[in-house]
């Protein structure tokens, strides 16, 4: 990870920079693929465009409403939240730091 190891987080690599590194990973990286299922904003916009085009094509049929009802949604990653994701508990950064035993100072937190 850009020359850092997990042991460097909170020491050589400040925790806020580590969070930025993970949250803003560029497309094509393993971190980006894990967070966004490999889909960029452009990919999502292209699917939106295809769905709108499908609807416009339906308006040219004999029964547009029936044709629109028959349309199936296009594939999108993680469109249906899993039961596992629903059951996940939210953890604050401070809770995570405490749980992992890391020794870092979080600004504005105790």
Q: For 45, list phi and psi in degrees, rounded to 5.
A: -65, -35
| Residue 54 banded pLDDT, cuts 50, 70, 90 | very high
Mean predicted lDDT score pLDDT of the chain:
79
The pLDDT tens digits for 62-89 are 998 999 889 888 887 766 555 555 555 6
């Amino acid at each position: 990870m850009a020359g850092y190891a997990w042991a460097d987080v909170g020491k050589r690599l400040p925790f806020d920079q580590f969070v930025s590194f993970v949250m803003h990973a560029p497309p094509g990286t393993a971190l980006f693929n894990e967070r966004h299922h490999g889909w960029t904003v452009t990919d999502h916009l292209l699917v939106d465009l295809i769905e709108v085009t499908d609807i416009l094509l339906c308006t040219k049929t004999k029964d547009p409403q029936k044709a629109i009802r028959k349309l199936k949604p296009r594939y999108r990653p993680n469109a249906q939240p899993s039961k596992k994701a629903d059951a996940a508990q939210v953890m604050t950064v401070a809770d995570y730091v405490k749980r992992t035993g890391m020794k870092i100072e979080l600004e504005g937190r105790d």
